[in-house]
Amino acid sequence: MSYAGFWKRFAAAFIDLLITAVLGGIAGGISGVLYTLSTGTAVGAEFAGQIAGTLVGWIYFSSFESSAKQATLGKMALGIKVTNIDGTRIGFGTATLRHFGKIVSFLTLFIGYIMVAFTEKKQGLHDKMAGCLVVNKSEGNNPSEYTTLRSPH
């Protein structure tokens, strides 16, 4: 297994940040408007929007990382994926723990993220909390990850 390094993970996280910011903004805006229309007041609409944005991020990361691809769109673009310590696919619960563990990595003044650059298996605090690894995909290991186009002749 080849562990994904700090800068590769950083680039994937940046792509995912852009995607979730757009999706979260849309979901937040819609839920804020629906809240205002249903209650007749804008008081609390911002909070409803923030909850919707949080749900979008949770579902995005946990669904993609526990899927057959084992990666968010950003991770797919950089050729990396999330596994458990044994190198196999993680479940939705583990992906959820990993996602919300990022709050702890953030609250430690980003030390939980910076750990990726210095730990043996390139794990951040949230990875260690959830028992996960972020590894480079290597062609040939899993035939279902790649398709080969063949000529009909």
Mean pLDDT in residue range 45-49: 96
pTM equals 0.88
Find all residues with CB under 8 Å of 59, minimum gap 6, and list them.
Answer: none
What's the pLDDT tens digit per position in 10-37?
Answer: 999 999 999 999 999 999 999 999 999 9
3-state secondary structure of 1: coil
- Residue the block writes with tokens 């605090």: 125
Q: Where are the domains of the chain?
A: 6-138
Residue 140, SS3?
Answer: coil
CA pair distance 111, 125, nearest whole angstrom: 8
For residue 138, what pLDDT band results from cuts at 50, 70 and 90?
confident
Q: Which single residue is written with the structure tokens 């980003």?
A: 110
